Amino acid sequence: MEGEEEGEGSNRPWGLYWRSNTSFILSTVTVGMFTDLFLYGLVVPVLPFMLRDRLAIPENEIQSYVSNLLAAYAGASVVSSLPAGWIADKLGSRQAPFLGGLGALLAATIMLAFGRKLVILVIARLLQGMSAAVVWTVGLAMVIDTVGPQDIGKVIGLIFSFISIGGLMSPVIGGILYEKTGYVGVFGIASSLLGLDFLMRLVVIEKKTAAKFDNDIPSNPCDFWIRDEGVDAEATEEDALVPKSDDSTYKFRGEQSKAIQSLPILACFKDLRFLMTLLLAFVQALLLSAFDATVPTEAQSLFDFSSLEAGLLFIALDMPYLVLGPLCGWAVDRYGTKLMAVMGFGYMAPALVVLRLVPDELVSGTRNVVFYCALLALNGIGLAAISSPSIVEASSVVQRYEKANPGFFGENGPYAQLYGFNSIFYNAGLATGPILAGYLKGSLGYGNMNLVFAVISGITATLSFFIVGGKRKVPAGT
């Protein structure tokens, strides 16, 4: 091939530049996350019919079975996230586990399409949960490998905004397809999306791999950014409540335990700021899943909505997330995690309290449906604001430890392990939210349930003010 260099260049992969292009790598991760979220939601409205028609489950037991199948997904994600992160950091490439996660999702989709026994459906949901753990853990590690920590908030905000479309539209699309075409349409669109996802994951080339064939491609985007901008990416403007620190603060001293030697990210658990990032992930998912669990039943109670009509209400909740997600992510990068975490969770407290108006003031009617949608949209703004601080703050803290302890986390760094733990706490929030929301709604009512979540959000904002770090210094002239 013309223009190839000697040595490794003679074996240069075809399409090296576009396959290792930042936009293509991020698009591959985004499509992977979108596919996972879309297929999860696509099957949700179909599960009750599977249980009734295929397995002859009694009508009064279907809700319990559906809940258990959803719990199986969340449980598998929690259990699989850490092993996925550990394996991804030990292997030389993120691509192999990324493809493995897709294999689990493909197997799950086939089982759901043709399964005629309950155990098959349970295994399918477990495989879906395992796939989700791999996609989110390895995918986020690929993102930071590609863009470096300086732009992680903006990129995560953009990715989450796009994939939220999957969560927003998939239950509606699944319900419509099942009603019009049956299982054929539902699993036909699933197969098409899996095919695109597989093709992109197969051809993508990571930056560090591409750098072996072309010296102009930086293998470490963080180092490239520092060299290009002339700025220390670790420099921070600490809040007065957070003492200034240097590398010595993050230096590990003495011999580490065998557990830490096997899983180096455990050493960061001594850091309160790191633990706070996991709490942020947990509460973020807790609030999000509480809406998923209670909006449909409250809509049915207030307005006698069908499941499809109730599903459409999520447009009001998710549209602010879709529009404001990238902007909030940019704000996290520009103004710091502390400001956005405090403002985001602080904003959620009154936004949740306002939902207490719903049971007392609303009666069935088009005008009141619009009012309820407006209240949901107000909460959607808050959900957009709290979408990025956890991941960005965690990446910032761990990057400090990695810089202060060269080689401690291994050749591939600690980021897949980090996002594995982040995924564990996030999925734990997803699993806890519906249970807690259902219990509080049943015992205290919808309004008081939202009051409890408002208190949780307010406490999280307060803790963020005292614990979460300051903002990154911005290069002069920007």
Phi-psi region of 182 (alpha: psi -120 to 50; beta: other; left: phi over 0): left
Query: Could you read off the pLDDT of 289-312 as tens digits, one per residue?
Result: 888 778 777 777 778 776 667 767
Encoded tokens for 217: 């491609």
Write the DSSP assignment of 38-85 as a string of letters.
HHHHHHTTTHHHIIIIIT---GGGHHHHHHHHHHHHHHHHHHHHHHHH
What confidence score (pLDDT) does residue 328 get? Answer: 86
Say which range, 93-107, 165-179, 211-225, has the weakest mean pLDDT.
Answer: 211-225
Contact by Cβ (8 Å): 265, 88: no
The partner residues of 208 in beta bridges, in order of sequence, read: none
What confidence score (pLDDT) does residue 404 get? Answer: 87
Q: Classify domain 12-211+218-229 by CATH number.
A: 1.20.1250.20
Which one is predicted more confidently, 69 or 448? Answer: 448
What confidence score (pLDDT) does residue 367 get? Answer: 61
Contact by Cβ (8 Å): 92, 146: no
Determine the residue type at 148: G
pTM (two decimals): 0.75
Say which range, 130-144, 235-249, 340-354, has the weakest mean pLDDT.
Answer: 235-249
Question: Hey, where are the domains in the chain?
Answer: 12-211+218-229, 234-478
Write the DSSP assignment of 404-420 as a string of letters.
HSTTTT-TT-SHHHHHH
Topology given in CATH for the domain delimited by 234-478:
Growth Hormone; Chain: A; (1.20.1250)
Domain 12-211+218-229 identical in fold to domain 234-478: yes
Determine the residue type at 99: L
Query: Could you read off the pLDDT of 397-440 as tens digits, one per residue?
Result: 888 888 888 888 877 678 778 888 888 898 888 778 877 888 88
